Amino acid sequence: MNTSMNNPPQASQLIKQLVIKDWELYQKQFAAYVVGLLVGLTLIGAGRTWAFYAGGLLLLVLLICVGGFAIQTSLLNERKEHTLPFMMSLPITPMTFFWSKVLANTTIYLVPFTLVVAGTAFLVLFTPLPDGILVWSLLLYGFLAANFFISLGTAMVLESEGWNVFVQIAISTLISPFMLALGQIDAINSKIRTNEIVWSQPALLILAAELGVMVLSLVIARAVYRRKDSFL
């Protein structure tokens, strides 16, 4: 079994199969999110102020939910419903399992994430909205993405459902304070209502910190996970 596991082409094939398996399991929820995404975009395009804000809020909520539910379905439920023994019966190493989960969840999350970010950028740049709000928006999306990677990393290494739920709720509650904090930084806040897109030093530092948190979450999760020589 170890021989086959050390064979890179076979490992990548297994990762692909596991990603497809997670996608199949998650498909129904993802389909519902697509409907939500469409409703959100339709509200934004309705040309009314209340609909614009409602659509924007819906897209943000969806982004948070997509990540949360993907992790819940592919990792936490797998443990709770005792389907992990099935995974253990497959000729895979813990690290193959790790990468399959990271890839499946990241793909599932990044598809709607990219759509929403691209939609926001388009909306800001091609409508009368001030262009300066783009930096603030991208920092907020970066924060949401960092939250997702923290949740994913936690779910990979912590098997307790309680702790995982705690981490997800805790970091979600930080979204509003983060928005308020951005508003307190003059270099960012003063440009929101202008047509200037300024990547000031504080904005770049925050973005770098967000990217750093994303990478660090995966690095730590991988470091903890690789110490496992079996699933048990």
Partner 1 sequence: MSTALISTGAETRLHYMDNLRALAMLAGVVFHASLAHSVLMHGFWPTADVGNSVIVDVFAWFSHLFRMPLFFVVAGFFAALLVQKRGIGGMLGNRFARVLLPFIVFWPIVYFSMGWLIANAAANMENLSPLLKMLKPGLANPDRPATPPTLVHLWFLPYLMCFCVLVWVVHALEFKAPGRWLASLKPVAIATVIPLVLVLPLVSVPAPHPAPESLFPQWWALVFYGVYFAFGFQLFHHAGLLERIKPAAPILLLAALIAYAAFLILLRDTVVANPNPLVHVLKAVLEAYAGFWLTLVCLIYGKQWLDRSSRFMRYVADASYWVYVVHLPVLFAIQYPLLDVNAHWVWKFGFSLFATLGIAFASYQLLVRNTVAGRFLNGARNKSHVSSAKAAIVGGSL
> Where do contacts with partner 1 occur on this chain (CB under 8 A)?
27-28, 30-32, 34-35, 38, 41-42, 44-46, 122-123, 126-128
CB of 178 to partner 1, least distance (A): 27
By C-beta, is 128 or 162 nearer to partner 1? 128
Q: Could you tell me if 144 and 64 are in contact, meaning their C-beta atoms sit under 8 angstroms apart?
A: yes
What DSSP string runs through 144-213?
A: HHHHHHHHHHHHHH---HHHHHHHHHHHHHTHHHHHHHHHH-HHHHTTTTSS-----HHHHHHHHHHHHH
CB of 107 to partner 1, least distance (A): 15
CB of 21 to partner 1, least distance (A): 15
- Which of 54, 185, 182, 30 is CA-nearest to residue 112? 30
CB of 45 to partner 1, least distance (A): 2
By C-beta, is 45 or 212 nearer to partner 1? 45
Dig out the tokens for 9 from the structure. 């082409």
Give the N- to C-terminal CA distance of the chain in Å, as an integer: 17
Q: Which helix (H) or strand (E) holds 23?
A: helix 8-44
CB of 128 to partner 1, least distance (A): 7
By C-beta, is 129 or 207 nearer to partner 1? 129
By C-beta, is 119 or 142 nearer to partner 1? 119
3-state helix, strand, coil in the chain (%, to 5): 80, 0, 20
By C-beta, is 122 or 231 nearer to partner 1? 122
Q: Could you tell me if 154 and 170 are in contact, meaning their C-beta atoms sit under 8 angstroms apart?
A: no
